[in-house]
Amino acid sequence: MMKVRNLKKSYGQGSEKVEILKGLNFDIQEGETVALIGKSGSGKSTLLSLLSGLDRPDSGEVFLNEKNIFEMSDRELAIFRSQNIGIVFQQFHLVSTLTALENIILPLELSGVAEPYERAQELIDAVGLSHRAHHLPSQLSGGECQRVAIARALSIKPRILFADEPSGNLDEETGEMVMNLLFEMVKDTRTTLVLVTHDLELAQKCSRIIHLEHGSIG
C-alpha cells in the first residue's frame, strides 16, 4: 500500500548539514499497524512528516497506492492529504475557535464528504464525547482533546493514519485509555496505522516495529 524508496532528508547547509534520513527503504501493507521507534533525534518525526506529505525529501519516493506523492504540487498534495491521510499529534492541535464537533467536521468539509455533520456526530459518539460536542478545546481535558483529535483524523476514512506520540502529553491512565481507543477504532475501520512512540510496550501492540537509529532502519 505504501512504498518508501531511498528516502533521504537533511537539514542545514554546507558543513552544518546534518543528514537525518539516510536512504530509507520499506513497505507498509494495507491494514498493518506499524510502530516507528527510536531515540530522540533518530529521525522519527522527520520520517512521519515525509510519509504524511507534510514535508518533501531531498531525494527518494513515497508511493501511496502506486502514486508518488512528491510528484504532486503543493496544492494537489494538500487535496490528496485531505482525502487520504489522517494525522494525530502529540499536542492534539485542535483549532481553538472551533468546537469539538466542528473540529471533526472541518476535514470532512475539506474533503467534500456529503453529510459531514452526521458523520462527525457518529465519530464523536464513537469516542464517547457526544455530551462535549459543542465545547471549545479550552473547555476540554487533555484526554478529551486527544479523543476529538482521533475522531477528526479518522473522520475522512483515511487510507493511512499517522499518530505522533499520541499519549505523550497525557498521564499514564488517560494515555492508555486513548491508545486503546485508537487501536480499537483502527481495527474496526481497518485503517493502516503508523505510530511514532518512545514507549516499547505500546509499540509491541503494533503488528510491526521499525526501529530507527541515526537515520537508518536498525
Partner 1 sequence: MIFKFFTIKEFKKFWPFYGLVVFTVLLGTLGLSGISLISSKVQGELNARAKELLTSDFALNARRNFTEEELKFIEDLKERSEASYKVVDIYSMLTLERTKDTRLVEVRGIEEGFPFHGSIQASEPLTATGLYISEDLERLWGVTKGDTVLLGELSFQVKDIIRKDSSVGLRGFSLAPRIYLPLKDLEKTGLLKFGATGSYAYHFLFPRYTKTHLENLKKEVFRKFTDPALRVSLPENSSGQTARAVNMLTNFMSLAALIGLILSLVGIFYLYQSHFAARLKDYCLLYLHGLSKIKLITWLILQFTVLFTFVMIIQVSFFSTGYHWIRPLLESNLGLDLGESISLDVLVFQIPFLYALSVLILVPLLLGLLRTPMGISLKSSKIVMGQFRYYDFLPFIVCLWFFSWSLSGSLRIGNIFFGGLLLVFLVSSLIVKVWQWSILKVLSPKHLRFFSLELGVALRQIARSGHKLTFSFLSLCLGATLISLILQLDIKVQSEFELKEEKPALFIFDIQEEQIEDLLKIAEDLKTPLEAVTPMIRARLETVNNRPFERKKRDIKLREEGDEEARIRNNALNLTSRDFLSPSERIIKGKDFKEINTDKALVSLESRWAQRMNIKIGDELKFDIQGVEFEATVVNLKEIKWTSFYPNFFVNVSPPHLEGAPRTYLAILPQTYSELKNDFQRAVLRKLPNISFIDVENLIEQIWRLFLKSKVAIELISILSLFVGLVILYGLCHDQVYRRYYDLALFKGLGMTTGQVRKSLLLEFGLLFLISIITGLLLGWFMAQVISQEAFKLSWSISVERLVIPGVILIILCLATIVVSSYRALKGQARDLLSEN
Which residues, including other chains, have CB under 8 Å from residue 148's CB and lie 6 or more apart?
Answer: 92, 94, 100, 103, 104, 124, 127, 129, 137, 140
Nearest-approach distance from CB 45 to partner 1, in angstroms: 4
Question: Between residue 109 and residue 168, which ones bind partner 1 under the rule CB under 8 A?
Answer: 109-111, 116-117, 134, 136, 142, 152, 164-165, 168
* Smallest distance, partner 1 to C-beta of residue 91, A: 7
CB of 191 to partner 1, least distance (A): 17
Q: How far is the CB of 167 from partner 1 (least distance, A)?
A: 11
d(CA 196, CA 186): 15
Q: Is residue 54 within 8 Å of residue 37, measured between CB atoms?
A: no
Give how far the C-alpha of residue 125 lies from the chain's centroid of Cα atoms, to the nearest Å.
21
Q: Kindly indicate which of the ranges 39-47, 61-69, 177-185, 210-218 contains the residues binding partner 1, using the contact rule CB under 8 A.
A: 39-47
Sequence-distant (6+) residues with CB within 8 A of 175 are 167, 168
Q: Provide the 8-state DSSP code for 52.
A: T
Q: Output DSSP code: residue 62.
A: E
* Interface ranges with partner 1 (CB under 8 A): 40-41, 44-46, 48-49, 54-55, 74-75, 78-79, 81-83, 87, 89-91, 93, 95-99, 101-102, 105-107, 109-111, 116-117, 134, 136, 142, 152, 164-165, 168-169, 196
